[in-house]
Amino acid sequence: MKNSIAERIADFLKNFPPFISLPFHDLVTIASEVKVVHAEKNQVLFKVGDATHPNFYIVKEGAIGLSVTSDAEEALIDKCDEGDILGLRPFFAKDNYLMTAKAREESLLYAIPIEIFKPYVEKNTEVLSFLLESFASNTRNPYDKVNKGKLISENVIYDDQSSEIQYFQPISYIKNPITTKRKNPVQSVAQLMTQYKIGSIIIEENDIPIGIITDKDLRSKIATGQFPITTPVEEIMSAPVVTVPENISVAETQLMMLKHNIGHLCVTLDGTNKSKIMGIISEHDVIVAQANNPGVLLKQTKRANRSKELKGIREKLTDLIQNSLDKNIPIQHICNLVGEINSAITKRAIELAIEKMEKQPPARFAWMNIGSQGRKEQLLMTDQDNALVFEDVEEENYDDVKKYFLELADKVTKTLNKIGYEFCPAEMMANNPMWCKSITDWNKQFNAWINTPGEKGILMCSIFFDYDFIYGDAALVESITENISKQVDNNQLFFAYLGTDALKNPPPLGFFRQFLVENDGEHKDSFDLKSRALMPLIDAARLLTLSQNCIGITNTYQRFKKMAELEPQNAHVFEECAEAFSVLLKFRTEEGLQHSSGGRYLNLNYLSKSDKVKLKNTFSPIQDIQDAIKSRFQLTYFT
């Protein structure tokens, strides 16, 4: 007699690794021993420190969150959807669970006995390899676009060996370095170091290195008064010079610096201090060689003197984003890092533009990034949105002052365009006279948007209420923030308009739970991630925090987190919105990086079944938050 329940379970299992590697009759045998587990929302399947279960699990319906405890707080690591496997630890480790698994919604799981499944693992190398790799690598679900064919494990510690390869690559260094003679005064060396913005100079004789002076020598021997500035360099130089050959690896460079407790190495033709000088290696070169880490990119940004250099940094930043995604670094951490570097690039562009102006700024001013840049959510090379505010000046000087800042802004926006940030099609940039104003004019502008809201005013709110101070006098931006705070306080009419706007895009599922896609045009049959999914959450977060007078928080994820803190009774809704936003932003970023686009439109045909499930799971929080907005701001009839 056939076991219809076992066959239904086997029909499900056969669609997912590693079960796809097993014959169907084996799956039926396994399925006959499977237990169906029903988990209510927030029910814990297992937690950190629990003894391991005799089963591992595959999600049939719903979603299971995996989290760890960090600094006394529960940190969500990932979410398991349909077809995802969890609880592998008993296969490979005798110790207790290192993660907590908790149902994030009502869920059904299949509990597969490990002892029943083990014989199939032992005789099927594909299944064994799959499980081993999955447990060791802490990667994501089997149908993940980036890490296809790997599972989520409960082992949160992994070893990224790609960086080890870098250590044995030849290091890049400065060729044809600046040198000087032994009899030259220290003052001339200091002037050379200042002129070329370098931290060391080699002293040579017939192209042979005989010593080196670093900025540390200047601080410890000259600035302290130990030697006068007219002293010949040979009296304070370090000698002999530690030399290395060309093609030295990153690892060897680090060992040499550690061994001799120095920060510079001289590269010579044969690696000895008796042959021709070829270059110099600094500690900075070692850092750069190891990775495009954020600290290095920030330092490079501050040193950049041309838009071409800043463009190179922005391109490296794209690599950093891709590498971070590949390593499953949470998208919010990536946003924070990228936001800081984007801000530093803009700041440097402003500094370079001021240097090109004929005179210094005639009044105090501040530069603001607005929109997605203001929210620090711009991970892709999309267009620039910015604004400029300057202090109030005498009426007779106003036109001249504004003319100066418009010219400055024009230089900055053109530099940003060369770097890769396209001009805003709607001209929402600081070189537009509408968005370059005095503090009084800006406050009047915000007051008009808030107190006489109309369709155009609300559209502007979606851009200009998300701002981030970048450069200049922060007090000017704080003044705008204080004014907004006063104007929005208990302003029901403004919130009604803003709430109506936040509801303009309902959850993007049709009557039969089908994705709502574009019906015509260039992107026909594609899913608009920005308008249909991201913007409803962005608009909702803005509305809710403004209504709570939390003006200083602009990042969507942080806005929802703040709402969860302010309203613990509704925390689960806000937490789910924050998570949904992160998932959607990651989808958009991956799409944009893969196709060198803004990532706005998804071709659903290229998504796996599991990715479609993940995407649909983000729509439920959109519905929940929009229902809450209707109720909170009494918009049922207003809309």
Tens digit of each residue's pLDDT (9 = 90 or more) over 544-553: 999 999 988 8
pLDDT at 152 over 70: no
Q: 396 and 305, same structural domain? A: yes
Quickly state the pLDDT bin for 93 (edges 50, 70, 90). Answer: low
pLDDT at 10 over 80: yes
Least confident of 114-123, 295-304, 356-365: 295-304
Q: How much is the pLDDT for 129?
A: 63
Q: 270 and 254, same structural domain? A: yes
Q: How much is the pLDDT for 483?
A: 94
Q: Taking a C-beta distance cutoff of 8 angstroms, is the pair 619, 533 a contact? A: yes
Provide, for the chain, the percentages of residues in helix, strand and coil under a 3-state DSSP scheme, each rounded to the nearest 5. 50, 15, 35
Q: Is residue 15 part of a domain?
A: yes
pLDDT at 158 over 80: no
CATH classification at residue 141: 2.60.120.10
pLDDT at 318 over 80: yes
> Across the chain, which distance is largest between two alpha carbons, in Å?
102
Q: How much is the pLDDT for 636?
A: 64
Q: 627 and 600, same structural domain? A: yes
Residue 207: φ, ψ to 5°: 70, 15
Of all residues in the chain, the percent with pLDDT exceeding 70 is: 87
The residue-averaged pLDDT of 24-44 equals 92
Question: What span, in angstroms and rounded, lies between the C-alpha atoms of 420 and 422?
Answer: 6
CATH classification at residue 212: 3.10.580.10
Q: 387 and 269, same structural domain? A: no
Q: Is residue 496 part of a domain?
A: yes
CA angle 95, 62, 539 (to 5 degrees): 110
Q: Is residue 362 part of a domain?
A: yes
Least confident of 75-79, 215-219, 281-285, 497-501: 75-79
Q: Is residue 420 part of a domain?
A: yes
pLDDT at 507 over 70: yes
Q: Give the domain-ending residue among 136, 159, 182.
A: 159
pLDDT at 373 over 70: yes
Q: Is residue 165 part of a domain?
A: no
Q: Taking a C-beta distance cutoff of 8 angstroms, is the pair 240, 210 a contact? A: yes
Q: 367 and 496, same structural domain? A: no
Q: 391 and 257, same structural domain? A: no
Output 92 or 499, whichever has higher pLDDT.
499
Q: 407 and 272, same structural domain? A: no
Give the count of domains, the chain.
4
Q: 155 and 17, same structural domain? A: yes
Q: How much is the pLDDT for 164?
A: 37
Using DSSP bridges, classify how beta strands 386-390 and 174-175 pair: parallel, antiparallel or unpaired.
unpaired
- 3-state SS record for 185-226: EHHHHHHHHHHHCCCEEEEEECCEEEEEEEHHHHHHHHCCCC
Neighbours of 352 (CB within 10 A): 18
Least confident of 88-97, 104-113, 488-497, 617-626: 88-97
Helix (H) or strand (E) holding 66: strand 64-70
3-class DSSP state of 41? coil
Q: Give the domain-ending residue among 389, 404, 430.
A: 430
The string of pLDDT tens digits covering residues 237-248 is 999 999 988 878
Q: Give the domain-ending residue among 430, 447, 477.
A: 430
Quickly state the pLDDT bin for 598 (edges 50, 70, 90). Answer: confident
Q: 312 and 269, same structural domain? A: no
Q: Taking a C-beta distance cutoff of 8 angstroms, is the pair 82, 16 a contact? A: no
Quickly state the pLDDT bin for 135 (edges 50, 70, 90). Answer: low
Quickly state the pLDDT bin for 563 (edges 50, 70, 90). Answer: very high
Q: How much is the pLDDT for 299?
A: 73
Q: Is residue 464 part of a domain?
A: no
CA distances from 456 to 155, 209, 449, 533 (A): 51, 68, 9, 22
Quickly state the pLDDT bin for 153 (edges 50, 70, 90). Answer: very low
Helix, strand counts (H, E) of the chain? 25, 21
- For the record, the structure tokens of 147 come out as 């890490």
Average pLDDT, the chain: 84
Q: Is 608 exposed, middle or buried (0-12, 13-18, 19+ CB in 10 A)?
A: middle
Q: Is residue 459 part of a domain?
A: no
Q: 183 and 88, same structural domain? A: no
The residue-averaged pLDDT of 123-142 equals 57
- For the record, the structure tokens of 44 come out as 């814990």
Question: What span, in angstroms and rounded, lies between the C-alpha atoms of 471 and 343?
Answer: 9
Q: 154 and 109, same structural domain? A: yes
Q: How much is the pLDDT for 74?
A: 61
Which residue, 437, 478, 473, is CA-closest to 365?
473
Q: 155 and 26, same structural domain? A: yes
Output 603 or 150, whichever has higher pLDDT.
603
Q: How much is the pLDDT for 478?
A: 93
pLDDT at 274 over 80: yes
**Sign of the Cα pseudo-torsion (488, 491, 493, 497, in order):** positive
Q: Is residue 207 part of a domain?
A: yes
Structural domain boundaries, residue 15: 4-159
The string of pLDDT tens digits covering residues 167-180 is 456 787 888 899 99
pLDDT at 575 over 90: yes
